[in-house]
Each structure stands twice: as C-alpha cells, then as structure tokens.
A and B are shown apart, each in its own frame.
Chain A
C-alpha cells in the first residue's frame, strides 16, 4: 500500500473530472459569497472522491486546491479531519456499518463479524477482487431501525445475516460501484 501512494505522488497523469461533475462544482461554488469560495471545499471533495474511484489521493487534493484557488494544505487538513473522506484506495463498494451504542444494543457487532467472515476480510480491509471494503462508522441517525449498513448513499436498515447475504448477492449482480456523484 505504501508503495502505491508514493507511486501516485509522483504520478503526472492528468486528472479529468466528468463534464457533469464540473458543472455541478460550478453550481455549488455560486452558493457562497464571492470571497468565501472555500466554503465549497467539502461539497467539492465529495464529488472529487466519487470521480476518483472512492478515495482522495494527494494528487487529487492538489487538483481540488487549484480549482478553488486555495493552498493544498487547506485541502489536506480538511480531508484528514472528516471520516467520510477515504485517504487510501477502497473496494468498489464500501460497507459502512454503524458501530455506535444503539446499533450495538441491537446486534451490530454480530453483523460486523458475520460480514467479516462472509467476505473473509477484517474491518478496514478490501476483498482480493477489489469488490468490497468493510468500514465501521459512527451513528448514521437510523437507530430506530438498527443495525444499519450504508452503501453509497443508500441505507440498509434492520440488517441481519440473511439480508446481508441478499445485499452482497445483489451488489455482485449489479457489478457497478458505490462511488457515485452524491449529487446524482
């Protein structure tokens, strides 16, 4: 993994966002006052992450800094603070499993270990085919339907082992990626 990051730091490959993403970014920038365009940073990073396969490389962060006319370090400090930004490559689908109190009262720990044994990876790891990553997250504001797994923008509530089987099968069939532009 270390090797890969160094590789990317030295990469000179040009970053290109899709036309739709660039249009959305322009629209978002206009929501903030002329001299406060840095406000667009978090929304833009969400889009940048989706455009770059689900994670933010230093190269992508530099690109975003350039786009908003701010210093690269201003992007790094934000990207490292918020848990939804991934700083290393992830699978095509990220299972974000809630592990906070109310979900744990209703079996979150059990579904995490079931998911781990089913995919044969530990939390934080990616399956060898690059398909799935398990990530634990904190309260997803769905405690009434615990336990909860979020994939992309979709919530999967009242989860149990059978529903996990079904979800994994469906995602295999769908064979796309959860890294979609969250603004659509």
Chain B
C-alpha cells in the first residue's frame, strides 16, 4: 500500500503536466467545488491521521482548534525544517514530488480558512527550495494558487521561507519566531499557535509528510484511510533508514509492519552490512530512547515489535521507545554506544537555544562528562551523575529539546551501563574490541578470521 511514494519514480513527476496526467490536483477540484471546509476537517478527523513530524498529534483536531468565526487572518505553515538527526523523508518528498506537497497545502489552507501559507524550508536545503519554488510558479500559472483558485472564489498565496541552520526551529513556536525574522527561541505555551501564532494570528503548523497525506484522504475518504495500518496508528509512514544496513534510504510502510521483516527483508533494509550482528536501533530520530537488538525486535511481552506508535512505545521508557519522526538509525556490533551518545549530546548542546538553564547548562555538563568517559579520564560516579543531570533537564524546559537530550542519555545508560563502566575501568578496551570485530570480518584475510 503506497500513498506517498506512489508516483515517486515516474520521470518528470516534478513537472505539473506529468503530475496532473497521473491524477494530481484532482483532490483540489473535488474539495473546492463539492466540499465545505468543515467537511474536509471531518474527513481528516475520521482518517485518524497523526502528525508525522514526531509528536503524533491528531491533525484533524489541530485544525479543529482554529476559530473560523473570527475575522482574523489565519496562517498555514508547513514545517519543512527537517533537522532531526536520522530523518530525511521530507527532503526526499519535496525533492522528488513537490506538487504533492503543494496540493496538500491548498487543501489544508482551504480547510482552516488560510489565505496565506508558508513552507519553512531549512536553510541547508536551498537546492530543494528551488525545486519547490519552480513547482509553486507552475501552480500559480495554472490557476491552482493565487486569486480565485479554479474559479471557486478561494484564494491562497503560497511562499517558501528559508531557515539558516538551527535545529530548534523545527519546534513550531521557534519556527514561528524564526519566520518573523527573530532568533529561534521557543515560546511558552499556552497560548498555542491555533490561538496566537504567526504575527499573533491563529496558525496551524503541519509537517511535510502530514500534509502530503491529505490529497489521498480527500480523494478516497477518511474512512478508507483509517482502514490502513492499525487502529491506533492509521495510514502509512515514511521511514528514513540510516546507519549500518545494506540498503539505507526512505521506505513507505503500512503502520504496524514488523520491525524484524523491515530490518532483514531485501525489499527494505536488507539486513546488517558486512554480516555484522545488530547491536541497537534508534527508531524515531535521535531524540527517542535507544533500544538494544532484542528489545527492538520483540516487545517486553515477547511478541513481535511492530512499526506503529503503540507497539514501539510498549514497555514505556524502560523497555520501549517512540515512533517519533521515523528516523531509523541502525547500529551494528562495531558501534561504541558511549561515543555515539557523546556525538548526539554534543549536538543537543550545540543546538540548545539557551533560554532555559536546565537545557543550556545541563547539555553542556553532559557533553563534558561524556567527553571525559570517551577519553578515558572518567570516574565511575560520572555515570550516575549523567542520569541525574538528564533527570533534572527532563520536563523542566519550555520546549521538548530538553527532553530530547535527556532521553538518549537515560536510555543508553539504562540498556548499556556495562559499556560505560568499561570505559571507566579499561578505557581503550572498547576501541580494541571494535577494531578486532572489524578486522575479523575482512573476508579475504583468513588468518584474522575466527
């Protein structure tokens, strides 16, 4: 079942003519000519579609919060500031099928009553933004954007807006600040963007993948969408696979697909590269808890782990994780968990906006301590100190970046404490072992092979 990647490999799909020949923009005709905005919101609510940016908030409900009776300007923003390490699905969608996003934007804008919409594209992706701007130009020329779309009386202006290299601007209120030309400091909620967002006006911020689902829902109905996937996780999901697999890339799966098959089938990840053993997986982008091999393949109850919101979170934060943004980072037995964690913590420290002390200072302390452990000058008390700092960041910050830095630390220590201790007592043993595994797997060197 493919909804998002259906026509992705059709040559010329980036051009409006090819896109329309394959049925593109039919949902816009249907919606604008035969449906009212509440009809659309009803379909999206029925579909059960959940936000694909990471939080998984029901999209229909988000739209429902917009007060349509007020005369204030309403804004629609597409969050294309894809910055979560391990996630690259939105870039893929925009690069290869830009019109699908534009089609979804028109429908979403019509549903919430927006007449101006922005696509906030991260600054690194200027090449993708050029593709989008070209597609937007085509849509304007054919009367699909601008004044009086297809003669229906509905008008929508759509613009791209570049970021400039800031992870935190993927958080919706920081994104709004950034779009207003300021530093990306997240706002305190409430008020939520639906009440006071861009320029203080009611605003909806949706992820690229979320919006790309809307045309299918309008064409086929919310009920049909709800029948795909599982009851609590309807629809399909793009999974970005990176790390130590044979076939990294973007895959569309029906939610509820077994992790085991996803990892080892040749239609998907194709197994672990170099015939190594699986060590751990970060299933939903760098912010979610890491899981060791046995827990990513099976739930704590022993059932197969599935790629869905509810199955991945089974076992809570002790033995489960989250679907997040679908950034599936695979690590084989040559990975040093401490070194990998240090890398992510350095990242969060660098990307902290600095507003809240627990995050600003805490991520810096964790970075220092992990550097110590990695360099072999760590102390056994450092391990619990890390857990304690992470615990003091979690839940004590304005935005989720604090939690995002705490969860990887807590889970890595929870599942791999031995490896941290090892770094204290035998600082170089870890590197030596990794070197040995790597050399043992060189196929033409029979002497080293064991």
Contacts and interface: CB of A to CB of B under 8 A. Distances in A.
A144 interface: yes
A143 B85 contact: yes
B85 A142 contact: no
Nearest to A140: B124
A100 B129 CA distance: 23
Interface stretch (B36-44, B173-181, B209-217): B173-181
Contact of A36 (B88, B126, B180): B180
Contacts of A17: none
Given A33-B199, A144-B249, A155 B127 contact: yes
A56 to B, nearest CB: 11
Contacts of B86: 101-102, 139, 143
Given A144-B240, A144-B241, 5 more contacts: A38-B181, A42-B181, A85-B165, A101-B85, A101-B286
A40 to B, nearest CB: 7
Given A43-B161, A82-B166, A154-B127, A102 B122 contact: no
A46 B162 contact: yes
Which of A38, A144, A153 has the most chain B CB atoms closer than 10 A to its own CB?
Answer: A144
A182 B124 contact: no
A83 B241 CA distance: 26
- Pairs A-B, 8 closest by C-beta atoms: A82-B164, A143-B242, A84-B165, A41-B181, A83-B165, A38-B181, A102-B242, A182-B126
10 contacts: A36-B199, A38-B181, A43-B161, A74-B181, A102-B329, A139-B85, A139-B86, A144-B241, A144-B242, A155-B127
B248 A144 contact: yes
Contacts of A184: 130
A150 interface: yes
B340 interface: yes
Interface string A75-95: 001100111110000000000
B122 A141 contact: yes
Interface string B142-174: 000000000000000101011111110000000
B88 A144 contact: yes
Contacts of A16: none
B327 interface: yes
B403 interface: no
A104 B182 CA distance: 32
A150 B243 contact: no
B347 A137 contact: no
A67 interface: no
B416 interface: no
Interface of B: 82-88, 90-91, 118, 122-127, 129-130, 157, 159, 161-167, 178-184, 199, 240-244, 248-250, 286, 327, 329, 331, 335, 340, 343-344, 347, 350-351, 353
A100 B161 CA distance: 25
Contact of A100 (B90, B165, B184, B347): B347
Nearest to B87: A141
B167 A138 contact: yes
A171 interface: no
Contacts of B84: 139
B414 to A, nearest CB: 19
B327 to A, nearest CB: 7
A39 interface: yes
Interface in A80-136: 81-85, 96, 99-102, 104-106
Nearest to B335: A105
A38 B177 CA distance: 11
A100 B348 CA distance: 10
Contact of A46 (B90, B164, B243, B353): B164
A102 to B, nearest CB: 4
Interface string A54-85: 00000000000000001000100110011111
B161 A42 contact: yes
B181 A39 contact: yes
A141 B163 contact: no
A42 B90 contact: no
A172 interface: no
Contacts of B85: 100-102, 138-139, 143
Interface in A150-166: 150, 153-155
